[in-house]
Amino acid sequence: MHVLSALSPQVRQYLLVTGNYWAFTLTDGALRMLVVLHFHTLGYTPLQIAALFLFYEIFGVITNLVGGYLGARLGLNRTMNIGLGLQVAALLMLTVPAAWLTLPWVMGAQAMSGIAKDLNKMSAKSSIKLLVPGNQQGKLYQWVAVLTGSKNALKGVGFFIGGALLALLGFTSAVLAMAAALALIWIASLFLLSHDLGKANAKPRFRDILSKSRAINMLSAARLFLFGARDVWFVVALPVYLSTVFAWDFWQVGSFLAVWVIGYGVVQSFAPYITGKKRGHVPDGRAAFVWASLLAGLPAIIAFGLSAGGSPQIVLLGGLLVFGALFAVNSSLHSYLIVSYAKEDGVSLDVGFYYMSNAMGRLLGTVLSGWIYQRHGLEACLWVSTAFVLLAALISTALPRHATVD
């Protein structure tokens, strides 16, 4: 406690925001793995499993759009705490008797979880803009990268926890344990998070939720296709493929995806150094185009290797590692650019609009992941992923270019 009291108020708030984000992310990753594996064992098809997450992604789109407006009017502390509380409620919805876990009920719980997740993420990402001076772009990039990277690393830990809890405790007990732990975090956050964090000086109008910045609109479009490219094969197709074709059990699927996402998060945290921060550079539109172009060929190479009869274990698992590293850099670049482009007063409006596009990409990828895999298999998912990354690279050519040096 003495160490915390010696820190500046900005750093203390950053640590609180990050701690909230970490706790939420653990439950979000674990819940995703629990739902995919549990309902797969109940005999749900890949398309039905994708449908379970449909409302999660749809309400994520709506929440990011409206949540940015609410954050600017009410303050980011309130939107973050509302998100934590809703996630506790969503988890408790899944602890009902097994006979109640119908498709509509689970979709409703996932809808609430989607609202919670995007309120939490929008609040966390927006807060960083307010805690770093505007003339320190290198530090802003580093803080955003650490927040984003650590979140994804912990999401990977959440995947592992989800698979492990399902094997050890069963579905209901696992979800109940997560709800209890997150409730304690939520109560602490209600008392400790600053009450005026992120509230705009001028009350925004509802029509201000739509961005008027060309740079933010272009970045949002690129983000949509970037995350659609990941989720079109990662959300449903990959876990089901590993479970059916490789005959992996819960522990193996959960552990592998956990390690993949943890590695992805670690690379995100170091993205500023990979992209040239040590040389005094921060990324611009050209960097976003270059890194998206490097990523575009990976899904195609994996698909070609599988169709050519290569060892699925070597081709798929090896390709996944390279894809994860390149995707991590792309994602970290985008996360920095949106915070950099956003206006400081009412920052959550711009960040919320951008993450609305992120959620639309996840929604598109999730639906296509189940449908394309069920109809055409994993290789088709990978070819669609290739097309989406190419579109993200093409859109990135319209982003501003600069030569900012700290």
Q: What number is the average pLDDT over the span 185-213?
A: 63
**401 found inside a domain:** no
**403 found inside a domain:** no
Residues 214-226: tens digit of each pLDDT: 888 888 889 999 9
**331 found inside a domain:** yes
Domain total in the chain: 1
Q: How far apart are CA 124 and CA 129, in angstroms?
A: 10
DSSP-derived letter for residue 246 is S
Q: How far apart are CA 80 and CA 58, in angstroms?
A: 19
Q: How far is CA 59 from CA 65, 112, 195, 306, 365, in A?
A: 10, 8, 26, 35, 15
Phi-psi region of 52 (alpha: psi -120 to 50; beta: other; left: phi over 0): alpha
304: nearest Cα among 226, 378, 393:
378
- Of 244 and 389, the structure prediction assigns the larger pLDDT to 389
Least confident interval from 172-186, 190-204, 273-287, 338-352:
190-204
Q: Counting Cβ atoms within 10 Å, is residue 309 exposed (0-12), middle (13-18) or buried (19+)? A: exposed
**406 found inside a domain:** no
The pLDDT of residue 133: 53
Residues 267-298: tens digit of each pLDDT: 877 777 777 655 556 677 788 899 999 999 89
With tokens 């598109």, the residue in question is: 364
Kindly report the average pLDDT of the chain as a whole number: 78
Contact, 253 vs 243, CB < 8 A?
A: yes
Give DSSP secondary structure letters for 59-118. Answer: HHHHHHHHHHHHHHHH-HHHHHHHHHHHHHHHHHHTTS-GGG--HHHHHHHHHHHHHHHH
Contact, 163 vs 31, CB < 8 A?
A: no
**CB neighbours (10 Å) of residue 10?**
14
The pLDDT of residue 165: 82
Segments forming the whole domain that contains residue 188 = 2-396
**342 found inside a domain:** yes
CATH number at residue 145: 1.20.1250.20
Q: How confident is the model at residue 394 (pLDDT cuts 50, 70, 90)?
A: very high
The pLDDT of residue 60: 75
Q: How far apart are CA 356 and CA 359, in angstroms?
A: 5
Q: Which amino acid is at 13?
A: Q
Q: What number is the average pLDDT over the span 348-377?
A: 81
C-alpha 117: how far from chain center: 9
The pLDDT of residue 229: 92
Give DSSP secondary structure letters for 115-139. Answer: HHHHHHHHHHHHHHHHHS-TT-HHH
The pLDDT of residue 299: 92
Q: How confident is the model at residue 405 (pLDDT cuts 50, 70, 90)?
A: very low
Residues 144-186: tens digit of each pLDDT: 666 666 776 777 788 778 878 888 888 888 889 889 989 998 8
Check: pTM over 0.75? Answer yes or no.
no
**97 found inside a domain:** yes
The pLDDT of residue 403: 42
**404 found inside a domain:** no
- Of 343 and 165, the structure prediction assigns the larger pLDDT to 165
The angle formed by the CA atoms of residues 240, 244 and 246, to the nearest 5 degrees, is 105
Residues 249-275: tens digit of each pLDDT: 767 777 787 788 788 778 877 777 777
DSSP-derived letter for residue 204 is P
Q: Tell me: pLDDT of 308 over 80.
A: yes
The pLDDT of residue 131: 57
Q: Is the dihedral of CA 342, 131, 57, 90 positive or negative?
A: negative
Q: Tell me: pLDDT of 385 over 90.
A: yes
**CB neighbours (10 Å) of residue 321?**
12
Residues 6+ away with beta carbon under 8 Å from 107:
51, 52, 54, 55
With tokens 């407006």, the residue in question is: 69
Q: How far apart are CA 272 and CA 363, in angstroms?
A: 28
